[in-house]
Structure formats: C-alpha cells, structure tokens
Amino acid sequence: MNMHDQPDQLVALITGAGTGIGFEICRLLASQGVYVMLNDVDPLLTEKASQTINKAYPGFCKGCPGDAGDTDFIVQMVRETVREFGSLDLVVANAGITLFGEFLNYKEADFHKVMQLNLAGTFFLAQQASRQMIAQNRGGSLLFMSSVTGHQAHKNLAAYGMSKAALEMLAKTLVLELSPYKINVNTVAPGATITERTAQEAGYAETWSRITPMGRPARPQDIAEAVAFLVSPRARHITGQSLVIDGGWTATSPSPYT
C-alpha cells in the first residue's frame, strides 16, 4: 500500500506495541482512521498484533519487527513507515525496559540496557521522525512514554525511574527546537497498569486496587485514550507537558511494598 495520493491521511509509528499499552494505542488509532506502523522486538508478536488490528480495520496496520533501541534500525523503521504509507505524522515512543535491582548492587550492563532502549531509543527515534516531519512541512506530534516512577521513588527502580524522568525533560527541551516546525512533543506517565506482564505478578491487581484512590489499576485503554488525544490535531497547542495517568496514586503515594 502506498498513501502518496492521500496527503491528508495521518500516519503513526508506535514502538513496543506487540502487547499491552502499545498495542492498545495502535488499535485505538487505527479505529480512528490513522494508518499505523506497529513495532515490537518480537517478530511473532509483531505479526500477531498487526494481523489482529487488520482483522478489525483492514489495511490500517503494518508490522515492523526490530530493536527500537538500535539506532540503525530506527532509521530503517522510519524509512519503512514512509515507504509503506507515504508520510509520518505521529510517533509514540512506547518501547521500554524495566530491570529491577538494588542500587548498591546494580549491574552496569543492566544500567546500559535500560538507558539504551528507554533514553537513546526515544531520543533518536524523535530525531529521525522530526527530520521526516520537517521535510513534509506540515507539523506533527511526538509522544514519549514516561512513568509515575519518574515522579515518585520506587524501590529497586533507580535506573528506570531516572530514565523516565529524563524523558520528561527531553520533551520540555525539544519544545525550543521543534515548535518552529509545528511539531508538538509531550509525555504521559502511567501508573500501575494491568497488562499481560503485570497480570502475572502475584497480588499486583489487589495491591494497586487497594492503594489507588480510584479503586483499581489502569487498563491499557485508559492510557491509550490520553495518548490518542495528545497526538491528535486537537492537541497541537499542547506541548512540553507530562500527563500522569494513575487513578490519583501520586496524589497520596501509599507504598505498594507495605
């Protein structure tokens, strides 16, 4: 499929979208008529997820498997998106990794893994996507995936929380360089969310239901709805902001470890 003959059609690229929040963002955007390039590091997950979306919204999704922390792959992924759909207008840098560990014993290799995907992956995806959007001369939207751990301290997540706080500063800084090109950039910071991964953790839903003021953890749809708004044309005057989506947890911040 080539969308060169439809210049007004929005095209999105979402990383880390084989399951969970990323997949729900892809599904929701496709339901709104946005063409979606779905990335995941797992080729089988990428194929399965894109097929699922295409069953509901035929032709609106294509998979692009690969490591979203690899700068060479990022270049290829942006090129593939433009080659497939004709443009690139919306980017959600959702891919990320969490490696728990006590600060005093944290391994250097784990630190670099977290920073390479969470920070370098987001930074260079934003760079490549922005270059493409500037060349198109019609603006665009970038969305980074932060976390409540970038706002509140969590046990054994020093490196992860550090990376997420840094993404919020990156979004603010890019306002200076990207606003002249009508590209807005924001972050969302999800709290506890029930995904395929967290659903397997013993007591996760019960614990977070008890300590979240709204009485439950987030669902992927809760995060996706906010993301879809922030990358839409309706939100183009919102930039450099971070939206916490946590059912009120950061307002009170009871510990999940007690």
Query: 15-72, pLDDT tens digit by residue?
Result: 999 999 999 999 999 999 999 999 999 999 999 999 999 999 999 999 999 999 999 9
**pLDDT(116) > 70:** yes
Instruction: Please give the mean pLDDT across all residues of the chain.
Output: 95
220-226 mean pLDDT? 97
The per-residue pLDDT for 6 is 40
**pLDDT(205) > 60:** yes
The percent of residues above 70 in pLDDT, for the chain, comes to 97
- Which candidate in 35, 57, 62, 160 is catalytic? 160
Active-site annotation holds for 160? yes
Active-site annotation holds for 181? no
The per-residue pLDDT for 253 is 86
* CA–CA gap between residue 44 and residue 66 (Å, rounded): 11
How does residue 197 score in pLDDT terms, banded at 50, 70 and 90? Answer: confident
pTM above 0.75? yes
Neighbours of 256 (CB within 10 A): 16
The percent of residues above 90 in pLDDT, for the chain, comes to 90
> Which amino acid, residue 97?
I
Nearest-Å Rg of the Cα atoms of the chain is 18
191, 197, 203, 207 alpha-carbon torsion, rounded to 10°:
0
Question: Smallest Cα–Cα separation from 27: which of 200, 196, 227, 235?
Answer: 227
Strand order in the sheet with 90-93: 61-63, 35-38, 11-14, 90-93, 140-145, 183-190, 242-245
* CA–CA gap between residue 61 and residue 53 (Å, rounded): 7
How does residue 147 score in pLDDT terms, banded at 50, 70 and 90? Answer: very high
235-255 mean pLDDT? 95
- Which candidate in 35, 57, 62, 164 is catalytic? 164
Beta strands in 45-121 (DSSP E): 61-63, 90-93
202-223 mean pLDDT? 93
Instruction: Write the CA distances from 82 to 106, 125, 129, integer angstroms.
Output: 40, 14, 10
**pLDDT(257) > 50:** yes
**pLDDT(3) > 60:** no
**pLDDT(8) > 80:** no
208-217 mean pLDDT? 94
151-164 mean pLDDT? 96
